[in-house]
């Protein structure tokens, strides 16, 4: 699980040693000593960055974007601070917002927080194939199919969800067309030939690189959870969900902890995917048995979405293909594995 790191500077009271009666600090018992916390930062359009705090800030000083973008004075609107730039952001480029925020009681926080340049034309994408039980020669992979024209700049693929994730890939600028396939290699070997294909589709080498699909490699990826997990695609880190998949070989009665999901992390991932509308539950809440069961899969017996790209956000959209039937970079097979 990864978390953003913020640098906090909090006002505090100092008790100094000395003679005589101690001051009465009981009046401070219920005082608010907590500074505003930044809970979300996102580009609203090519010129505007919005920072959302957990309380209304009184002031934001020293706010600046790196790499530098000339900007107007920040505007405070409730618990939001809006920064308007005088020049457009580069789509998908990583920026950092830094500044010091203060609330009405004088509590302050200095923060340093990344965001990615606004992408005005994200394509429509679907997760269409996945292997979670890769081998030494066929490591874990996820396939995306492009359904509409657009640019991948700043789109975010996660092993997990926006708040709880193990690894992720933030796409660089890359124009794509309908019908293209994107292969996300979740366990790269760190070879020089493992190149993200933003240009020619045959530029990359490495295991299972496809000469006619776009290959991308998860930085530091160690592979997917074999039996129980979530993969998701977002418009930008922390942004709207575009597509997701829940897979699990567990049930609600697998154990008493975490509703049968086995770990707190997977339960939180499943809950968030469900809450964001990315996966439907058969009952009142999401359960392990709502996911696609990966038990029959192998490195070459993948989980495939039906080739007509049906998208009900349930396991009914998915099947396991026969051994050797994996088809990353190509239209999926309709054949179903029979034990």
When mean pLDDT is compared across 1-15, 138-152, 273-287, the lowest value belongs to: 1-15
pLDDT of residue 112: 93
Count of other CB atoms within 10 angstroms of residue 288: 25
pLDDT in tens, 88-128: 999 999 999 999 999 999 999 999 999 999 999 999 999 99
Dist. CA 239–CA 279, nearest whole Å? 17
Average pLDDT for residues 172-190, to the nearest whole number? 98
Q: How confident is the model at residue 21 (pLDDT cuts 50, 70, 90)?
A: low
Whole-Å CA distances, 163 to 182, 268, 276: 24, 9, 12
Instruction: List where CATH 2.60.40.1220 sits in the chain.
Output: 26-116
In whole numbers, what is the pLDDT of the chain averaged over residues?
91
pLDDT for residue 13: 37
The Cα 172–Cα 36 span in angstroms is 32
| Order of strands, sheet of 38-45, starting from the edge strand that comes earlier in the sequence | 38-45, 48-53, 80-84, 75-77
CATH architecture of 26-116: Sandwich (2.60)
Q: At residue 20, does pLDDT exceed 70?
A: no
Question: With bands split at pLDDT 50, 70 and 90, how would you rate the model's confidence at 22?
Answer: low
Residues of the chain with CATH 2.60.40.1260: 125-320
pLDDT tens digit sequence for 240-267: 999 999 999 999 999 989 999 999 999 9
For position 23, what pLDDT does the model report?
57
Q: Could you read off the pLDDT of 305-338 as tens digits, one per residue?
A: 999 999 999 999 999 999 999 999 999 999 999 9
Task: Quote the percentage of the chain above a pLDDT of 90.
Answer: 87
Which is nearest to 184 in space by CA: 131, 241, 238?
Answer: 131
Residues 187/98, Cβ–Cβ less than 8 Å: no
CATH H superfamily, domain 125-320: Lamin Tail domain (2.60.40.1260)
Does residue 277 carry a pLDDT above 60?
A: yes
Other CB atoms within 10 A of residue 93 CB: 15
Q: Using 50, 70 and 90 to split pLDDT, how confident is the model at 33? A: confident
d(CA 151, CA 160): 23
Walk across the sheet containing 108-116 and list its strands: 59-66, 94-102, 108-116
Q: Phi, psi at residue 155, to the nearest 5°?
A: -60, 150
CA dihedral 216, 218, 219, 225 (to 10 degrees): -170
For residue 1, the model assigns a pLDDT of 47
Can you give the pLDDT at residue 29? 53
């Amino acid at each position: 699980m990864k978390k953003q790191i913020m640098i906090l500077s909090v006002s505090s009271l100092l008790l100094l040693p000395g003679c005589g009666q101690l001051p009465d600090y009981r009046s401070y018992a219920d005082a608010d000593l907590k500074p505003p916390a930044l809970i979300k930062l996102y580009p609203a359009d090519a010129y505007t960055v919005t920072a959302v705090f957990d309380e209304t800030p009184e002031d934001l000083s020293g706010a600046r974007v790196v790499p530098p973008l000339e900007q107007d004075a920040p505007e405070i609107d409730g618990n939001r601070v809006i920064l308007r730039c005088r020049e457009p952001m580069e789509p998908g480029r990583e920026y950092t917002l830094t500044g010091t925020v203060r609330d009405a009681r004088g509590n302050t926080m200095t923060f340093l927080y990344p965001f990615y340049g606004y992408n005005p034309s994200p394509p429509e994408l679907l997760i269409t194939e996945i292997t979670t039980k890769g081998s030494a020669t066929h490591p874990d992979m996820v396939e995306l199919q492009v359904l509409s024209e657009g640019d991948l700049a700043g789109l975010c693929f996660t092993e997990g969800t926006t708040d709880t994730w193990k690894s992720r890939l933030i796409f660089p600028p890359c124009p794509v067309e309908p019908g293209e396939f994107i292969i996300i290699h979740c366990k790269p070997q760190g070879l020089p030939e493992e190149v993200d294909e933003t240009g020619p589709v045959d530029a990359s080498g490495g295991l299972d690189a496809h000469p006619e699909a776009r290959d991308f490699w998860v930085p530091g990826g160690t592979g997917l959870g074999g039996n129980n997990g979530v993969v998701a695609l977002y418009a930008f880190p922390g942004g709207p969900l575009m597509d997701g998949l829940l897979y699990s070989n567990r049930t609600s009665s697998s154990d008493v902890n975490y509703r049968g999901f086995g770990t707190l992390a997977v339960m939180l991932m499943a809950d968030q995917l469900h809450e964001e509308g990315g996966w439907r539950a058969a009952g009142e809440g999401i359960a392990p048995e709502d996911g696609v069961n990966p038990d029959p899969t192998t490195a070459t017996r993948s989980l495939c979405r039906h080739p007509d790209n049906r998208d009900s956000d349930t396991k009914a959209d998915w099947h396991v293909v026969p051994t050797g039937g994996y088809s990353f970079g190509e239209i999926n097979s309709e054949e179903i594995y029979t034990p």
